[in-house]
Amino acid sequence: MRVLKELCRQPAGLFGLVIVVTVVAMAIVAPWLAPFDPDNQMFDGLTLEGAPIPPGGQFLLGTDTLGRDLFSRLLFGARTSLIIGLVANGVAVTIGLFVGVMAGYLRGWAGSLLMRFTDLMMAFPALLLAIVLAAILKPSLWIVAMVIALVNWVQVARIVYTETRALVERDFIMAERALGAGHARIVVLHILPHLVPTAIVWGTLGIATTVLLEATLSFLGVGVQPPQPSWGNIIFESQSYFQAAPWLVFFPGAVILLTALAFNLVGDALRDILDPTQRGRG
């Protein structure tokens, strides 16, 4: 509750929170809120010349090149993008926490080996690596989520490693060791609780990156495959109509931008609230 109250006191954080809650709520109620089936190719969804219908009338945001309602597809696309964002980022944070804690706590050759592997993963451009993995595997919602997770954990691991190295030198950890506490007890009861704020902040910030990466993969044709809607493949399917029907690119692009911005604003606000070095400043 304290975190929520402080978050609401920050205008940028509150704005981001409102957008996030709105997008999540619309994704949840999409089956009831969408006026049409997102995959339904309607006869009256195209003009006599076979062109998409512009926004207005019964089609709030217009139709796409196949006569499908764009508003309905954006709502269901939000479900796809957010599911991938949450799952992929959750897995990435979990992997990053495990690798970072183990490397920082064990140190020695084991810690060095884990961090050299992390450095090796960081040396590959994340987008290029994701494209290669997605192209090798058969793209689907869950495959795309796992691919994104496999390229996004390294930043979390680096941050957690640094914090863990500092924690293991603290007096209370030394005292636990002197009292004979086991490694599992020290890690679970005394190190992980101190890393929860970091995990929350990076988990929130990472969703924005994940949503953008999913949209990029789908736009390039190696992400979520049609007819399942995602914000990225909606743009991919409509890119050739950019000049004739600009709303087909503008609306999904605006939604991606706004959602990524909202998660970044919330993540920045949470960092200021949960970071002990920021408390008492103002």
Averaged pLDDT score across all residues of the chain = 83
- The pLDDT confidence band at residue 40, using thresholds 50, 70 and 90, is confident
> Is residue 52's pLDDT more than 70?
yes
Domain 10-30+70-278, what architecture? Orthogonal Bundle (1.10)
pLDDT tens sequence across 54-90: 888 788 888 888 888 889 999 999 988 888 888 888 8
- The pLDDT confidence band at residue 282, using thresholds 50, 70 and 90, is very low
Residues contacting 119, CB < 8 A, separation 6+: none
Residues contacting 201, CB < 8 A, separation 6+: 267, 270, 271, 274, 275
Which tokens sit at 122?
Answer: 């960081």
* Residue 131 near residue 222 (C-beta atoms within 8 A): yes
> Is residue 281's pLDDT more than 50?
no
Burial group, residue 280, by CB count within 10 angstroms (0-12, 13-18, 19+): exposed
State the residue for tokens 């990435």: 92
* Cβ atoms within 10 Å, residue 146: 17
Q: Would you list the domain boundaries of the chain?
A: 10-30+70-278
pLDDT at 25: 93
Q: Which amino acid is at 219?
A: F
pLDDT tens sequence across 207-259: 888 888 888 888 777 778 877 888 888 888 887 777 788 888 889 989 999 99
pLDDT at 2: 73
The residue with greater pLDDT, 278 or 209, is 209
Give the angle 87-93-99 at the CA atoms, nearest 5°. 135
Tell me the whole-structure pTM to 2 decimals.
0.83
pLDDT at 276: 52
pLDDT at 258: 92
**Separation of alpha carbons 54 and 194, rounded Å:** 53
